[in-house]
Amino acid sequence: MNRMPAVAGAFYPADSQELQTMVDDLLAGAKVDEPIPRAIIVPHAGYIYSGPIAASAYCLIKSSRSRIDRVVLLGPSHRVAFQGLAASSAVTFTTPLGSVPVDCDAVQSLLQFPFVTCLDHAHVLEHSLEVHLPFLQRTLGTFNLVPLVVGEASPGQVSQVLDALWGGDETLIVISSDLSHYHDYASAKKLDQNTSQLIENLDYEHLTYDSACGRAPVAGLLKLLRDKSLTIKTIDLRNSGDTAGDKRRVVGYGAYVVN
**pLDDT value at residue 203:** 98
Q: Are 138 and 129 in contact (CB under 8 A)?
A: no
> pLDDT tens across 69-100, in order?
999 999 999 999 999 999 999 999 999 999 99
171: Cα separation from own chain's centroid: 14
Whole-model pTM: value is 0.98
Band of pLDDT at residue 66, cut at 50, 70 and 90: confident
CA pair distance 149, 82, nearest whole angstrom = 10
Mean pLDDT score of the chain, rounded to an integer?
A: 97
Residue 31 above 90 pLDDT?
no
Percent of the chain with pLDDT over 70: 100
> pLDDT tens across 182-224, in order?
999 999 999 999 999 999 999 999 999 999 999 999 999 999 9
What are φ and ψ of residue 89, in 5° steps? -90, 0
**pLDDT value at residue 173:** 98
**pLDDT value at residue 45:** 97
**pLDDT value at residue 32:** 87
Q: Are 111 and 85 in contact (CB under 8 A)?
A: no
Cβ-based neighbour number of residue 155 at 10 Å? 21
